[in-house]
Structure formats: structure tokens, C-alpha cells
Structure 1
Amino acid sequence: MPLITRLVDRVSTLEEQLTQERAIWAVLEGRVNATAEQGDLAARLKTDVCSTTPKLGRIFQAQSPAGRYKYDLDEARHACAEQGASLASYHHLYEAWQDGLEYCACGWLSDGTARYPMQTARTGCGSRIGIITCSHTSSNAWCFRQLNIFYRPPAGERCAPCNQVLGVGTDEGLKSELDRMKIVVKQLSRKIADWLKDRVSSLEEQLAQERTIRTELEGRVDRLSAHVQNTTVQDELIGVNETDLCSTTPKLGRLFHVQSPAGHYTYDLDEARHACAEQGASLASYHHLYEAWQDGLERCACGWLSDGTARYPMQEDRLVLF
């Protein structure tokens, strides 16, 4: 039946999602373990500091809120300072250009020139490749925000950029900073892993609920099929569709009893309809109540039905006083 098919598809989707979540979880656990085992991280980073750019950080362009090319040199310095940065040097821009930066907009540098980097010769952008100088009296600002990692090479070690730019701090300071970074990464990875564990547990619980519902509905369908086969109109129901089945037998769903917050037996018929609607339901029919009674329902409390009658189902003869 279509409903069972949808439930089977839903369970399959959840199982696939569970597999994906567990795969991500395993990758994160691996990253946590790898981070904890990287004892040579400090040595490798010291090598990187000496062999690549003179300063570790990020270069970016700032534009005035008043519009494009509105900063003079002092205003550009101030704009960068407001973002925890300083005016970039020509060397910063050159290194970024070597790494592939292209930006067709002039920006002030710390040497008082305004320039921009181009990787391709384009009309309107200087029509050439390289670090292009601007003749504007006002411009945007090239800012550089430095990463605070310091390293001083041992005596006799040739590392000119480090001596010039990172000539403060000690080996111990660098190791301390790297240790702190590893701890932060490990803690963050653990938090992500814990979140994923909770997510997997939630999905497993939802999957179990879906399977329970599917099992109950399959049993319900089996009982309905047996009921249809025992009727005298069996031949008329050959090829019946889902709509016909729902009009002949009760809808697949849950029948429940609602009581007014004001107390026992205080709903009139319209109020009862409204109370059901507030819970995303409708008044049950007599046939719904009859089917539930056949399945063993017993409730010694009257309730409105859609035909305007109030009834209740009993499995045993009991003296009832109203």
C-alpha cells in the first residue's frame, strides 16, 4: 500500500543518514587523535615561518562607508586600525599577488603609494599584469592583520625574514602558543564529536519509532485485508484504491479521548470539534470507535462522535453511575 511504501522509504532514508553521520563522526575522531599525536608541529611551523612570507596574517581591502576611493592616507591608516590591523606593506601585497590575488581596486599601502594586484591584463584594470600603481589622491585601504605567533631562530641560523619581522619571542613561547592551539582544536573537535553522538542517538531513536509504527501499520493492514476478504462484497472490492478502502473501513490513525480544561463532560458538540481541530485531528466516527472497540479499547467516559451522538466503548459489563 502507498502508506507502507512511504514508511519503508522513510526508514531507508534514516538508515542512510545514520551511516553518513557515523562516517563523519569517525573522521572527526581520527582528526582529534591525529592532532594529539602531532609532536613535530612546532618544528614544521618554524620552518614554514622562515621559508614563506615574512609575516603570518591576512591582507584585505577596506572601503570607506562614504563610497569608493574616499580615504586619504591618514584615514586609511585609521580604517585599518579600527579593524585590528595596519596598512599593508608593498611586500605584503606582492606576496599575496604571488599567491594568486587579483583585485581591480586601488588601495593605500604603508609606503604612501596606492596600488592594486592583477593576474590578467584587463581593459579598465590597467591592461597589464603585476602590481599596478594608481595616481589617485584618495583611495581604498589595503589592511594587514597579523597572526600573533613569534619565533626567534637560534644563533647562527640564517633566516633573514624571521630576524627582521619576527625578532621577538622565544622557542618556548612558540611552543606554548602551538600547544594552546592544539588544545583548542582538540576541545572543538571533541565538542563536535559529542554533538554528533547525540545526533546519532536521536536518529537511532527516531528510526526505532519509525520501525515500530511500520510494524503496527503492517499488522493493521493484515487485519483490514482479512476483514475485507470476509465481507459479502468481496468481488466488488477487487482493484479498490486507497480512497475506496478508507471510505469502507476506518482511516489509519489514532483514536484518543480529549477532556475540557474546565472539567469532566463540559464540551458541547461544536466545542468538541474545535478541541480536536486544535490537536490536528477531527471528531471520530462511530465506525472508528467500533473498530477500536474490536481491537480491545475500553474507556468508561462518554465522548462526542461526528454523527452527533456521545458514546463510550466497554469490553466488560460494569455498573456505571452518572
Structure 2
Amino acid sequence: MLSKQLHPPIIVFSMVFILTFALSVSSPPMDTEKGRRKVVHVLEDESGAVIVQTAPGKVVTHRGGSITLPCRFHHEPDNTDPARIRIKWTKVTDALQFEDVFVALGKQQRVFGSYQGRVFLEQAGRGDASVIIQNVTLEDYGRYECEVTNDMEDDTGFVNLDLEGVVFPYYVREGRYKLNYHQAEDACKHQDAILASHAQLHKAWLDGLDWCNAGWLEDGSVQYPISHPRDQCGRKDTPAGVRNYGYRHKGDERYDAFCFTSKPNGKVYFLKRFKKVNYAEAVKACIRDGSAVAKVGQLYAAWKFQLLDRCEAGWLEDGSIRYPIVNPRSRCGGSQPGVRHLGFPDKKFRLYGVYCFCKNPEETTGGSKVTQSLKRSLPKWKSSNSTPMNITNVT
């Protein structure tokens, strides 16, 4: 008796399921697209889609230069009020961290932090969201995001800003492997440099950098470049390359540092004197000459950009003795170009020459370049996924 009462509902449910399935199979394919966010916006939202394009590759300049971060946007359909467009530039400082650079909503504009007075919209016509960065600093190096928002639609693109420069290994007077991450970061800054990125270290290795001691990089990893494998540097039978210890504890573990610097904002020169001096006398001699004792990063930059070549050892600001060689000769420390390092001698009793640094009276803004022209490299406009977003305050 009980089984007879259960049968009718089961039959009804089966008929409903079969009917529903048949309707779904027989529905036109276009109906299944109506639930997708992009189709809904295109058909029902008058603002239309926003499409952002940036130049592939990277843009390159040097410290003190000016550079354009290229970014263009397009609407589908193209009937949007320019006053409702928000343009925002941020710097990607980490995988999930962003630093505000610039934002504009119509005629309202705001520049943030250290970028104030240096960042401006290029304003090269309709659909141009490019910004110009003037007096580029070492800290400007990195990856930038260009975001364009129109009411409920937005899209983003990325631009990589690279600097012409030089990577150099650095350790302190106390010896090798004495720096935690934060100390390494400070040491590079004190020598007119920043911690190098992996890309910068890899490029330096391709250019021949060979260094057997591991050092911190800006991402918190510890690496070192080997061009000529040998047993004392991780075995002779291992291939050349950039050896990687991975990410290390920034506070507890200690290594050297790999620093990066770019074109100096002044000139490094060897101070000609009739006699050699100790460290204190070297400092006074540069001051009397209207300069200061050169930092390590400044000497490397002068070697790279000024082609400073001097076969005379001299004091630097950190108390080390170094000299730059562009054209190697046997009496000047070997067959390879580079900055020779003679260590950290006694500041009071050891006598050497001195390298001084004279700062430019005004910051330069020229000499920038773009590795790939935006007009030549941008492909034709094409759709990309976008995320709905309302325009809010200019922040």
C-alpha cells in the first residue's frame, strides 16, 4: 500500500527532469551566453567595454632621465564622456602590494609620495593614458600598472621600467656575510645604490659578472653569479649561471649584498696630489676641492658611464681602496675590466690617493629612450576581460 503512494510523485519528478533537460538541449547557444558578465555589460550597460593596451617589452632610461610609460585605452562603443574616465597608475612593489603613483578623474589629478612634481599625463590625444616620469630615481625601477575605469567597466595593462646601470657586489669592513636583509638594503643605499633585482643580476652575469660570495637581492632571495665554475664556488663540474639559495630569513641570516646603481648625478674624479694621504686627510682634501669622497656606487657608475679609467688606488667613502679599469693592462690588476678592490686598510696609517665626487648643480632630465616604439608595437585593439568597478573619489 505504501509503495503505491510513492509511485506517482516519482513519475511526476521524472517527467519534469526530462522536460527541463530537453528544453536546455534545444535552447539556442546564444541563450547560454546571457549570464556572462561581459555580454550583460555590452548589451545592457551603455558605458560599454574599456580596453587598455601598453607597449610590450620594457622602457629604458637612466637615473636623472625622463621617460614615458605608454598606455592607451579604447571604448566599445566609443561614445564615453571623457569626464567620467578615471586613469590610475600604481607601482607593483610585491606580488600583492601596490604603491599609488598617479590618478586622474576628468580634469582632477593627484600625484602621490615621492612622485609629486615628477609625474604628469602625456596628453597626446584621445585615449592616451600615458604618464611621463621626470628626474627618474633608482627607486623608480620596477613594474607599473595602468588602470582605466569607465563607470562599471575597467581594464589594466602593465609597463616595465628598466634603468641602464651596473650591478656590484658589496660587503662591509667587518667582513663577509655580516649583513641581514635590512642591513644590506641600508648598505646599498649608503653607497648610492639599491639592492639589485634578479633580472639585473642575471643581466650582469650575462655581461660577465663572476662572484663567489652569495648576496641579498631586493626580493629577499640570496644568489650569486658564476661565469667560470670552480671547486671553491660550488664545484667545478656544475654549469655556469646564477646560483640561488632561495628566499632567506631577512632578520636572522647574513650574507653580502648585490647593489645596483645608474648614471651618477655628478662627476667622479681622482684628486691629483703630490703626496698620498690617510683617510681623514682624504676627506679634507675633497672638501677643499669643493667635493666629497666618492661612494662605491658612484665609482662604479663613473666606470660604467664616464668610462673612468685610472690605474691608481684611492680612498672611497666607506674606507675601502678601489680603482676603475676600463682598458685592462698587466700592471693594473689583470686582464678584465672592472673596479679593483684592495680591501679596507687602516684608516690612520695607510696612505693612498682619493676619488672625489662633485655633484651636478642641477638635476638632468634628458637622455631617455623607449626600447620599443608604442605606435609600432601596439597590436590592433581587441577585447579583454574586465572587472566591473564604479568610479569613486580620486584616490
Bigger proportion of residues as helix: 1
Give the structure-2-normalised TM-score: 0.25
| Larger gyration radius, structure 1 or structure 2 | 1
Relative contact order, higher structure (CA 8 A, sep 6+): 2
So what's the TM-score if we normalise by structure 1? 0.31
